[in-house]
C-alpha cells in the first residue's frame, strides 16, 4: 500500500468515526440539540478540522441517512431475489421495512423530527444519491407489484407505480405518526406497536386477489419470514 493510500485510508477511518459519533449524539439527544462544536469535542478535533470532513451539521445527517438507506436497500435486494410470487415479495418488502424501523427507532425519530425540508439542498451529492436510492426502493416495490399482477397473486386493476407510491408514502407517514394521533390510538387502547403490526393486514386487503380458489384474502401463497431478507 502506497503512502497516499495509507493517508486516504486514515482519512476515511476518521470520517467514519466522526459519522458514528455524530449519529450517537443525534440519537441520544436530537438533531437540533447537538452542535458541530459538541461533535468536534467528542471526536477530539477542533471545529476547523471537522469542517474539512463535513461542511455543516446537515451534511453529517445526510451521510447518516445515506448509510442507513444503503443498509435497507441491501435487505430489499435479498427480498426480491427470492423465488416467490410477486405478492409475497411485496409482503417481504413491507415486513422488512417495519423490522428495520423496529431495529432503528432512534434513527426514525431523528429523521421524522427534522422533516423533509432538510432535503432542500438537492444539489448536495449525498442528497442526490439518497434520492437515487429512494427511487430504487420505489422501483423494487413497483416491480414486485407488477410481478404479482402477472402471476395472479395481486389484483390486476391496480397501477403498479401508483400503488408503490401510495405504500411508500403511507409507510413513512405511519412510522412518523404525529404524537396527537398516537394519543388518539392510546385513548382507544391501541398501542403503537399494534398499529404498526396491523398495517400489513390492511394492505393485504387492498392488493390481494380475491378470486383465487382456496385462498383467503391476505394469505396468497405461503407466508415467509421477513428475516429471510436479512444478510448474514
> What digits encode the pLDDT tens for the residues 170-212?
999 999 999 999 999 999 999 999 999 999 988 888 899 876 5
What share of the chain has pLDDT > 70, as a percent?
A: 90
> Is the predicted pLDDT of residue 217 greater than 90, yes or no?
no
Residues 120 and 43 both lie in one domain: no
Residues 130 and 184 both lie in one domain: yes
pLDDT value of position 222: 44
Query: HSE of 209 in the Cβ direction (CA atoms, 13 Å)?
Result: 21
The three cell numbers of residue 176 are 412518523
Residues 196 and 105 both lie in one domain: yes
The rounded distance, in Å, linking the Cα atoms of 226 and 200 is: 12
Q: Which of 13, 31, 54 is the last residue of a domain?
A: 54
Query: Stretch 20-39: mean pLDDT, rounded?
Result: 96
Q: What is the total count of domains within the chain?
A: 2
pLDDT value of position 230: 66
Residues 46 and 91 both lie in one domain: no
Asked if 121 and 65 touch (Cβ cutoff 8 Å), the reply is no
Residues 74 and 50 both lie in one domain: no
* CATH code for position 21: 1.10.10.60
For residue 31, what are the CA distances in angstroms to 43, 61, 200? 17, 8, 31
Q: Is residue 214 packed enough to be buried (19+ CB in 10 Å), middle (13-18) or exposed (0-12)?
A: exposed
Residues 41 and 143 both lie in one domain: no
Residues 39 and 139 both lie in one domain: no
pLDDT value of position 5: 72
> Is the predicted pLDDT of residue 226 greater than 70, yes or no?
no
- Sorted by sequence, the CB contacts under 8 Å of residue 104 that are 6+ apart come out as 68
Helices (H), the chain: 3-28, 36-43, 47-53, 57-80, 86-103, 105-114, 125-151, 160-175, 179-187, 192-207
Q: Which of 36, 54, 72 is the last residue of a domain?
A: 54
* CATH code for position 70: 1.10.357.10
Residues 67 and 38 both lie in one domain: no
pLDDT value of position 52: 93
Asked if 223 and 169 touch (Cβ cutoff 8 Å), the reply is no
- Sorted by sequence, the CB contacts under 8 Å of residue 20 that are 6+ apart come out as none
Residues 49 and 70 both lie in one domain: no
The three cell numbers of residue 130 are 439518497
The rounded distance, in Å, linking the Cα atoms of 164 and 75 is: 18
pTM, full prediction: 0.86
Query: Stretch 50-55: mean pLDDT, rounded?
Result: 93
For 3, the domain range is: 1-54
Residues 183 and 133 both lie in one domain: yes
> What digits encode the pLDDT tens for the residues 126-144?
999 999 999 999 999 999 9
Residues 25 and 134 both lie in one domain: no
Residues 43 and 73 both lie in one domain: no
Burial 120-137 (b: 16+ CB within 10 A, else e): eeeeeebbebbeebeeeb
pLDDT value of position 219: 40
- Sorted by sequence, the CB contacts under 8 Å of residue 110 that are 6+ apart come out as 26, 27, 30, 31, 61
What share of the chain has pLDDT > 90, as a percent?
A: 78
pLDDT value of position 8: 80
Query: Which residues on neighbouring strands pair with residue 208, listed in sequence order?
Result: 154
Amino acid at each position: 500500500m502506497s503512502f497516499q493510500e495509507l493517508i486516504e485510508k486514515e482519512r476515511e477511518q476518521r470520517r467514519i468515526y466522526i459519522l458514528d459519533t455524530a449519529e450517537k449524539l443525534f440519537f441520544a439527544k436530537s438533531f437540533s440539540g447537538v452542535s458541530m462544536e459538541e461533535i468536534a469535542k467528542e471526536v477530539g478535533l477542533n471545529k476547523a478540522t471537522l469542517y474539512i470532513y463535513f461542511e455543516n451539521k446537515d451534511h453529517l445527517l445526510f451521510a447518516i441517512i445515506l448509510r442507513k438507506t444503503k443498509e435497507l436497500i441491501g435487505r430489499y435486494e435479498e427480498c426480491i431475489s427470492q423465488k416467490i410470487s410477486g405478492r409475497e415479495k411485496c409482503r417481504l418488502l413491507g415486513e422488512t421495512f417495519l423490522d428495520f424501523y423496529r431495529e432503528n427507532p432512534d434513527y426514525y425519530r431523528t429523521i421524522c423530527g427534522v422533516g423533509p425540508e432538510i432535503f432542500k439542498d438537492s444539489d448536495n451529492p449525498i442528497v442526490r444519491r439518497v434520492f437515487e436510492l429512494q427511487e430504487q426502493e420505489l422501483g423494487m416495490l413497483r416491480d414486485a407489484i407488477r410481478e404479482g399482477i402477472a402471476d395472479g397473486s395481486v389484483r390486476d386493476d391496480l397501477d403498479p407505480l401508483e400503488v408503490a407510491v401510495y405504500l411508500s408514502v403511507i409507510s413513512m407517514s405511519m412510522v412518523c405518526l404525529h404524537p396527537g394521533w398516537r394519543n388518539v390510538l392510546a385513548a382507544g387502547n391501541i398501542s403503537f406497536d399494534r398499529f404498526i403490526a396491523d398495517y400489513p393486514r390492511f394492505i393485504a386487503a387492498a392488493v390481494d386477489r380475491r378470486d383465487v380458489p382456496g385462498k383467503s384474502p391476505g394469505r396468497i401463497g405461503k407466508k415467509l419470514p421477513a428475516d429471510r431478507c436479512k444478510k448474514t
